[in-house]
Chains A and B, each alone.
Chain A
Amino acid sequence: MSNSASIYVIEDDQDIRDSLVEILELEGYAPEGFSNGQEAIESLQCPKSLPEVMLLDLMMPVMGGREFLQAREQLDPSVRSIPVYLLSAVVPYRGPLEGQVAGQMRKPVNIDDLLSVIERHAKGSRPQKSRAA
């Protein structure tokens, strides 16, 4: 599955992060989990390959979602153009960086909605695998 779409899951709660990673793996994507914005920014600064979509939690220790969006502004345009999807208990998020997210989704997350959003953004790169239903 080397050419499947890479997806960043930026979420501090380990159980939620693991579940999201599990779902995305089952769907044939190549997800990577980060427990705060800082870790994700570091990974984006020297990427082996850039993700196609990023799922971002808002409230996280060390670097939360808002700060992540700010820090992302300083990075290469190729990084800035990667769609970011907010997953949060307190959406809709309203703020100066609102325009920079591709969309928002309220927790608890509905997997079908989530997957269709990802499918739209990570177009074409998912292998014709496990979609049974």
Chain B
Amino acid sequence: MTWVSSSATLLRNDTSELSDLMRVEQDLTERKLSEGIKQVLIMNLKSTQTELERSIKARDEFINICSHELKTPVTSLGLQFQVADRQIKSGDPTVYSEARVKRRVDLVNRQLEKLNQLIEDMLDISRVASGRLQLLREGIDPADQLGALGVQLEIEVQEAKFEGDAYRIEQVITNLVTHAMKHEDGKPVHVKVSSAQPDSVILSIRDEGIGIAPSRLKTIFGRFERAISSTNISGLGLGMYLSQQIVQEHGGSIEVSSEVSSGTTFVVKLPKAPAGV
């Protein structure tokens, strides 16, 4: 069956070759398959096509957002240096004042960090997409990682250590806790670590904030999805996707439940000793 292999290739390089799909569809129509089978196959192809079109649109939107996000720190850096340049050329001595120099250095550092973070996220995305996210196996104490974030902890079981990639797990925890704190709406964030089950650790991060609408909730772990509209730029929309990928690579799972204006809970379940990591 030609269409099986073609559609498999299509799914792998999801961004390209809608035309392949058309060709397969044409192929099918020309073959003497029974009308029933033909209908089912064509329906499958149609839904794959819709799916592809959606993901291409999401990718384009993503590139757009990336450019915007990258331009922001670049603009800021450019402005700083242009102002300094003008002042130097005009002989304005305040350009060398300690306060001004300090302010510029701080700003430049901040913007460079922003740029670096954006680039890291984009690299991570491509690592994940090509299966090159290499995980280390080391001892992790989630209480340590959470402590560093300054959130109040409710630790159910003291011994919640497990094995995995500390840097990656920290990335997940930071992402979930940062979102919870960002959307908390002035109410406390509850973080619970438990290892009630013998072979896994459960982290739950709950806020009583603005919540997420049901329609958005479905796509929150999507690759380029952001729960808010595109005029409310807040990031690349990669955080949740990457978090889910990291947790899954560890053999774990991540779930979300939410109700608008009463809050959101993320539950991360990680095996204490992941296989294959």
Q: A residues bordering B, Cβ < 8 Å?
A: 12-13, 15-16, 19-20, 22-23, 26, 59-62, 64, 66-67, 89-90, 107-111, 130, 132-133
A26 and B233 contacting across the interface, CB-CB below 8 Å = no
A107 and B83 contacting across the interface, CB-CB below 8 Å = no
A130 and B79 contacting across the interface, CB-CB below 8 Å = no
- In terms of DSSP, what is the predominant structure of the interface of chain B? helix
* B219 contacts the other chain (CB 8 A): no
Q: A13-B76, A89-B68, A132-B90 are in contact. Are A110 and B111 (CB under 8 A)?
A: no
A109 and B75 contacting across the interface, CB-CB below 8 Å = yes
* B89 contacts the other chain (CB 8 A): yes
B76 and A15 contacting across the interface, CB-CB below 8 Å = yes
Cβ contact of B231, chosen from A26, A59, A90, cutoff 8 A: A59
* B46 contacts the other chain (CB 8 A): no
A130 and B90 contacting across the interface, CB-CB below 8 Å = yes
**Which of B67, B78, B89, B107 gathers most chain A CB within 10 Å?**
B78
Nearest residue, chain A, Cβ from B72 = A13
A59 and B79 contacting across the interface, CB-CB below 8 Å = no
Nearest residue, chain A, Cβ from B228 = A61
B78 and A109 contacting across the interface, CB-CB below 8 Å = yes
Q: Which chain B residues border A133 with CB–CB below 8 Å?
A: 86, 89-90
* B36 contacts the other chain (CB 8 A): no
For the complex of A and B, 8 pairs with smallest distance between CB atoms: A132-B90, A89-B71, A19-B79, A108-B78, A64-B231, A108-B75, A15-B76, A107-B75
* B248 contacts the other chain (CB 8 A): no
How long is the Cα–Cα vector from A66 to B79 in the complex, in angstroms? 24
Chain B: interface residue count, which band? 20 to 34
A59 and B111 contacting across the interface, CB-CB below 8 Å = no
B231 and A89 contacting across the interface, CB-CB below 8 Å = no
How long is the Cα–Cα vector from A12 to B232 in the complex, in angstroms? 10
How long is the Cα–Cα vector from A12 to B110 in the complex, in angstroms? 16
* Given A13-B75, A26-B92; 13 other pairs, CB 8 A cutoff: A15-B110, A15-B111, A20-B79, A62-B232, A89-B68, A90-B67, A107-B71, A107-B75, A109-B75, A111-B83, A130-B92, A133-B86, A133-B90
Q: B residues bordering A, Cβ < 8 Å?
A: 64, 67-68, 71-80, 82-83, 86-87, 89-92, 107, 110-111, 230-234
Q: Which chain B residues border A16 with CB–CB below 8 Å?
A: 72, 75-76, 79
A23 and B71 contacting across the interface, CB-CB below 8 Å = no
Nearest residue, chain B, Cβ from A65 = B231
Nearest residue, chain B, Cβ from A110 = B82
A59 and B76 contacting across the interface, CB-CB below 8 Å = no
Q: Which chain B residues border A22 with CB–CB below 8 Å?
A: 83
Q: Which chain A residues border B74 with CB–CB below 8 Å?
A: 107-108
Nearest residue, chain B, Cβ from A20 = B79
A23 and B83 contacting across the interface, CB-CB below 8 Å = yes
Cβ contact of A90, chosen from B68, B83, B91, B107, cutoff 8 A: B68
Nearest residue, chain B, Cβ from A27 = B86
A60 and B72 contacting across the interface, CB-CB below 8 Å = no
**Which of A59, A130, A132 gathers most chain B CB within 10 Å?**
A59
Q: A15-B111, A61-B232, A64-B231 are in contact. Are A108 and B79 (CB under 8 A)?
A: yes
Nearest residue, chain B, Cβ from A89 = B71
Q: Which chain B residues border A109 with CB–CB below 8 Å?
A: 75, 78-79
Q: Which chain B residues border A13 with CB–CB below 8 Å?
A: 72, 75-76
The contact sample of 20 A-B pairs, CB cut-off 8 A, is A12-B233, A16-B79, A23-B83, A26-B83, A60-B231, A61-B231, A61-B232, A64-B231, A89-B67, A89-B72, A89-B75, A107-B71, A107-B72, A107-B75, A108-B77, A108-B79, A109-B75, A110-B82, A111-B86, A133-B90
Nearest residue, chain A, Cβ from B65 = A59
